[in-house]
């Protein structure tokens, strides 16, 4: 085996976004592209000699080839050991679990999350810290800075290892352990939840369908739901991971998880339905003919946390991303605990959890989690809901109706306009910024505008500042219109418009969200000039 130092030169566009570096597969397959970025990571995270790295991904196209390259580079750069999921598989929350359990130095997670997969689709890579959470901005910026002046990378010239066989292997002086991808995560779930109560739920006349969307959570769901908890065989649909996710878009929302939605809105619909995404960190919760928004899901989980063994003594606090509705804020106020509002991006929750400030956190983009790991966790959220259902013995719709009667309902929706011309998308937000002063005090959508701003966040733990995190129009009654450009896609720009209106009157809680928010939708289009600038007369996705 020979260690090679390969000459290279910087490649443009390798700045990690909120979830690492994402690009088309063909971009990652360019000479030196992957190697430059991985070397930049290794050069930027501290002294890695003798340390342990965790490695795995969501199984998308090019996953296995990238793992072999990273293993050889890790060996050449001085890592003592790499823990890699069998078959190259590790869901994102499972990777966080493994990093924390084995006190690894950090981990590389190969995923583009909910983006499509295949030879012409997307790939991604991100670095997670020793706490199991995504690298903070100061680290990702250091990685990017290194990509701008990189001149060489190190790699071992050796044979590939068999990723399908569990066991320990040598790669130069480095040990590679191919480990069961599910076992450690499943053991952690058993510690958190009342598995006996959930088994009892499945023993009743309770029907449930989980859609793994041919993505990474299939093996996890089969072991935990159908194996450990005794759910009937076939409860997990689309449970075989495929490198193109079966040609689907593994984003668990009402548009892309339409197969599951059709089942839950059929005449013979089951009691409960759920889905997870490409890398297993997102979730969608459905009842019989009923959709639970991620914002409401977080609020219900916070309100019912003491029904779950791991949280039975109460929760320290909650956090939500700024665009997420204020539903959980009302629960926090009632419980007398802190509620933090952060920018979008799970890494912002890490400091709060490490400091013991929050226990539960979530984002409106179908992500919820707790301090058991440092990533959002789709299957964990489903188990949390199963635990609540097992204890309360009520329907999903009944639980939500009771919650709204107690706290009021935050009507909420997100409108996504995908693959928009970047210049037009930027102008949409600028149009709103240009009206910040004139809108204040004006009546818009039947509500008085209290203030407008670009959201900025000062981390209460480390004092770091994140600016320009979303354009906000805030109303005196607590309603909000928010505009953001998303950094999770690889083609064009996604404009996201978030609409929220609070309603205390229980007689109006049964309204459809799009109906309840119609005047705010019209107002958002009017002040931003989005239809005129983009040529779009409706969103790509509504959630």
Q: Residue 458: which H helix or E strand, with range?
A: strand 457-458
pLDDT score of 357 more than 60: yes
| 410-542: CATH architecture | 2-Layer Sandwich (3.30)
- DSSP-assigned letter for residue 212: -
Rounded distance, CA 395 to CA 256, Å?
24
Return the SS3 of 68: helix
What lies within 8 Å, CB to CB, of 109 at 6+ separation is 20, 56, 57, 90, 92, 95, 125, 126, 127, 128, 279
Q: What is the 3-state secondary structure (H, E, C) of 367-382?
A: EEEECCCCCCCHHHHH
Residue position matching structure tokens 């649909």:
237
> Boundaries of CATH 3.30.310.50 in the chain?
410-542
- State the pTM of this model: 0.93
- DSSP-assigned letter for residue 135: P
β-sheet bridge partners, residue 17: 20
Return the SS3 of 303: helix
Q: Whose CA is closest to 25, among 90, 92, 120, 96?
A: 120
Per residue in 95-109, pLDDT tens? Answer: 999 999 999 999 999
Rounded distance, CA 429 to CA 256, Å?
26
2-181 classified as CATH 3.30.360.10: no
Span 247-274, average pLDDT: 96
Q: Whose CA is closest to 188, among 106, 304, 83, 101?
A: 101
Lowest mean pLDDT among 73-87, 228-242, 529-543: 529-543
**325 included as an active-site residue:** no
Per residue in 31-77, pLDDT tens? Answer: 999 999 999 999 999 999 999 999 999 999 999 999 999 999 999 99
Catalytic residue among 113, 295, 297, 501: 113
pLDDT score of 490 more than 70: no
Contact (Cβ atoms closer than 8 angstroms) between residue 109 and residue 95: yes
Rounded distance, CA 138 to CA 347, Å?
11
Residue position matching structure tokens 């102008």:
427
Return the SS3 of 6: strand
pLDDT score of 398 more than 70: yes
> Boundaries of CATH 3.40.120.10 in the chain?
2-181, 185-407
β-sheet bridge partners, residue 360: 318, 370
Domain spanning 185-407, CATH class? alpha beta
């Amino acid at each position: 085996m020979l260690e090679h130092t390969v000459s290279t030169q910087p490649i443009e566009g390798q700045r990690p976004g909120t979830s690492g570096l994402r690009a088309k597969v063909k971009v990652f397959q360019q000479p030196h592209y992957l190697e430059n970025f991985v070397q930049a990571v290794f050069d930027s995270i501290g002294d890695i000699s003798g340390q342990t790295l965790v490695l795995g991904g969501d199984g998308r196209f090019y996953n296995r080839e990238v793992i072999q390259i990273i293993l050889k580079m890790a060996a050449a750069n001085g890592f003592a050991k790499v823990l890699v999921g069998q078959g190259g598989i590790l869901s994102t929350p499972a990777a966080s679990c493994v990093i924390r359990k084995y006190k690894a130095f950090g981990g590389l997670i190969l995923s583009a999350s909910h983006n499509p997969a295949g030879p012409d689709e997307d790939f991604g890579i991100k670095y997670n810290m020793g706490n199991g959470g995504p690298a903070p901005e100061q680290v990702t910026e250091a990685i990017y800075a290194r990509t701008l002046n990189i001149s060489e990378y190190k790699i071992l010239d050796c044979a590939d290892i068999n990723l399908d066989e569990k066991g320990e292997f040598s790669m130069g002086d480095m040990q590679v352990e191919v480990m069961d991808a599910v076992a450690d995560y499943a053991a952690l779930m058993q510690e958190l939840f009342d598995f006996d109560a959930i088994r009892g739920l499945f023993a009743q006349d309770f029907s449930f369908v989980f859609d793994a969307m041919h993505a990474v959570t299939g093996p996890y769901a089969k072991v935990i739901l159908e194996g450990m908890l005794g759910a009937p065989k076939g409860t997990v649909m689309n449970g075989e991971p495929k490198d193109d996710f079966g040609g689907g878009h593994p984003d668990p929302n009402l548009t892309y998880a339409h197969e599951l939605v059709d089942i839950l809105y059929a005449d013979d619909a089951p009691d409960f339905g759920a889905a997870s995404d490409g890398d297993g960190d997102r979730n969608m919760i459905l009842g019989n003919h009923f959709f639970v928004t991620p914002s409401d899901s977080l609020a219900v989980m916070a309100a019912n946390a003491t029904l779950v063994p791991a949280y039975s003594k109460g929760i320290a606090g909650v956090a939500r991303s700024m665009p997420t509705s204020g539903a959980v804020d009302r629960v926090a106020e009632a419980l007398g605990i802190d509620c933090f509002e952060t920018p979008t991006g799970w890494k912002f929750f890490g400091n709060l959890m490490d400091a013991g400030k929050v226990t539960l956190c979530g984002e409106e983009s179908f992500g919820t989690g707790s301090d058991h790991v440092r990533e959002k966790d789709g299957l964990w959220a489903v188990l949390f809901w199963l635990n609540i259902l097992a204890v309360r013995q009520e329907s999903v719709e009944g639980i939500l109706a009771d919650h709204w009667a107690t706290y009021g309902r935050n009507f909420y929706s997100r409108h996504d306009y995908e693959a928009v011309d970047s210049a037009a998308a930027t102008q949409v937000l600028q149009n709103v910024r240009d009206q910040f002063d004139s809108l204040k005090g004006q009546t818009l959508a039947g509500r008085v505008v209290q203030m407008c701003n670009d959201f900025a966040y000062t981390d209460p733990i480390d004092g770091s500042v994140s600016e320009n995190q979303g354009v906000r129009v805030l109303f005196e009654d607590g309603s909000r219109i928010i505009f953001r450009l998303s950094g999770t896609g690889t083609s064009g720009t996604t404009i996201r418009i978030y609409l929220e209106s609070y309603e205390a009157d229980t007689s109006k809680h049964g309204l459809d969200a799009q109906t309840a928010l119609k005047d705010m939708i019209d107002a958002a289009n009017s002040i931003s000039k989005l239809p005129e600038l983009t040529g779009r007369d409706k969103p790509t996705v509504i959630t």
